[in-house]
A and B are shown apart, each in its own frame.
Chain A
Amino acid sequence: MGGRALRTAFLALMLLLLCAPLVVVAGVSLNAQKRLLFPPEGLSLEWYGEMVTSDDWLGPIGNSLTIAALSALVALSIALPLAYALWRRRIFYARALYAIGLAPFILPPVISALGFLIFWNSIGYSGRIENVILSHGIFLVTLPLVTISLGLETIDRAVFEAAATLGADQRTTIRTVMLPLIVPYIISGYAFAFVLSLNEYIIAYMVAGFTVETLPIKIFSSLRYGYTPVMAAVSVLFVALAALIFGLIGRFGDLPKLLGAWTPEKR
């Protein structure tokens, strides 16, 4: 039937569109020439070698990983008690705080970026890596907040009552029932925040761009002031890392449900 062929063609086109830049960059990263060429002329892993040996690149990679790991932790530390309090009692204050937690991620990031920049400047403490960590932590609160709230909503509340009738007080119930049940959602919230922090540019740049070089900042400045195939190699590394993390969530978690589908089990 015509509809079926059309459907396949459309999906293939989308696949091509989504993958084309990735393929080109992967090709460029394997180029034996230092010039920007595609298809590559001669294959070489030289640029990957340079990426993992030169301090020019290892520094930003290290900064990015440190910032991502810690800022995701900051985001999680804010999101977990907030999601929990909101789930327990939907009081107005908790709902308002939840909305504030969603705001930084929904607004254009340049707004938060400028807010953070002015804030750190006004308190006279700027240009440090901890500024970026905290700023990213606030910016990314949304992600664990959403996943953990989702996780809590999926729990049958009778489970907590069952724990109570079996002799568990509140603290024990949280430790033995609630936390184990939301661990997958905590992990995926952390992972989302981690990956997005890793790739975030504008906030990191505004807050401490001149002193703490993250990988996106490094790539951006290379893009402006001189091409090197190492950029491509680093991009491939980051795409691979993101795909790996989301692949793991997809493999061990319920990705469709995390993204808002209902009863995906049926399909």
Chain B
Amino acid sequence: MGLSSVTNGLVLQGIDKRYGQVLAVSDVNLTLPPGQFVCFLGPSGCGKTTLLRIIAGLEMPSAGRVRLDDKDITDRPAHQRNFGMVFQSLALFPHLSVGENIAYSLRIRGVDRAARRRKVEELLELVRMPGLAERHVSQLSGGQRQRVAIARALALEPKLFLLDEPLSALDAKLREAMQVELRLLQKRLGITTILVTHDQREAMTMSDLVVVMDQGRVQQVGPPLDIYRRPANSFVAQFIGISNLLPAVMDGGDRLTVAGALFTVAGERPASGERPMSGGRVTLSIRPEDVHLFAGTQTGPNRLPGTVTFVRDVGASVETYVDVGGETVVQVAAPKDRPPVSAGDMATVELPAESCVLLRE
């Protein structure tokens, strides 16, 4: 990322977290520059929430250090870190009103009543809920609770804003609206934000930087498009949207064999590691929307003939599953951009050289 020499922002060094025999987080090294919107993305149980809780100070790492702006904060307890956090359950205080929830951090610091009221009004304005300070938490809708939790976390103008899947409980429509709103809010405040999510769409649309995790390890770090275009390994390729993964054998230079056909690969290099040797086994990854589909059997470079096994029409686009010598290639296109093939027809897929990404086995 070219930021390795800059120590501003949050730095995680060799973080391990062990629960008995289980290694929940394993050797995580990350540098998160200030002012960015970062997503920790991964399936459930991948360690992303544990990592966030370590950053918040709610868990102690078994090994490694946490640094913020060049200061070691590993041993600082959560209540002395001043990081705003929004929990998955939101964790609003059920015995307090909206205003009292938001002003909680100010009250326990002894901020006087008038100043608290001003800050509450300002924050409610910020989350677009003006005038609801007196409401009881139980009288709020799901979206409103979300906003109160956000406002409460921001009351102390924290250095870091941490969100643990706060949107997962919302229905799809509200979730998208909140995603946009959260992103706008973050841009306006310029606050370094970490969002934990298992929803790759959420991560792709919201963040400056995505950290993909699996089995306690960081699999890839990068801007969303980079991760989408150049997945570092087959886990990332598969987790970020549907991907076609085909076994291939290197044939020297930019050429390789896939399902018996000769391929050339151009454009993007694999995101990590060097070129495999000739004869080495690799995985070729290509996004369904980058695949071209033709009716009938056609030959040519990067083309694979096969049989259509299944067509799934989802309205705005059509997915076509083509069996090519035992491997399935999925192609997605708008209805008007595809040949009218249906299950059982012969068809040919073309995997353009510039869209293919090689992943090491």
Contact = CB atoms under 8 A, between A and B. Distances in A.
Q: Do A and B bind each other?
A: yes
Interface of A: 156, 158-159, 161-169, 172, 176-177, 180-181
B77 interface: yes
Contact of B58 (A165, A169, A181): A165
Chain A to chain B: the 7 pairs with minimum beta-carbon distance, closest first = A158-B91, A166-B105, A162-B91, A164-B78, A165-B85, A158-B87, A180-B95
Interface string B81-118: 11111011111111100000000110111000000000
B120 to A, nearest CB: 14
Contact of A164 (B79, B109, B155): B79
Nearest to A156: B89
A176 B81 CA distance: 19
A167 B89 contact: no
21 contacts: A158-B87, A158-B89, A159-B91, A159-B92, A161-B91, A163-B79, A163-B104, A164-B78, A164-B79, A165-B56, A165-B79, A165-B85, A166-B104, A166-B152, A167-B79, A168-B79, A169-B77, A172-B108, A176-B107, A177-B95, A181-B93
Contacts of A177: 93, 95
Interface residues of B, number: 31
A161 B87 contact: yes
Nearest to B96: A180
A158 B38 CA distance: 23
B153 interface: yes
Contact of B91 (A156, A168, A180): A156
Interface string B306-325: 00000000000000000000
Contacts of B89: 156, 158
Contacts, number: 73
User: Chain B contact residues: over half helix, strand or loop, or mixed?
Assistant: loop
B63 interface: no
Nearest to A175: B108
B23 interface: no
Contacts of B56: 161, 165
B52 to A, nearest CB: 11
Given A161-B87, A162-B87, A162-B91, A176 B104 contact: yes
A166 B156 contact: yes
A158 B84 CA distance: 14
Contacts of A180: 95
Contacts of B155: 166
A43 B95 CA distance: 49
A164 B156 contact: no
Contact of B85 (A156, A162, A176): A162
Contacts of B95: 177, 180-181
Given A163-B79, A165-B56, 18 more contacts: A158-B87, A159-B91, A159-B92, A161-B58, A162-B91, A162-B92, A162-B93, A164-B58, A164-B78, A165-B57, A165-B78, A165-B84, A166-B152, A167-B82, A167-B108, A169-B79, A176-B108, A181-B93
A23 B121 CA distance: 58
Contacts of B58: 161, 164-165
A145 B302 CA distance: 73
Nearest to B81: A165
A163 B89 CA distance: 14
B151 to A, nearest CB: 12
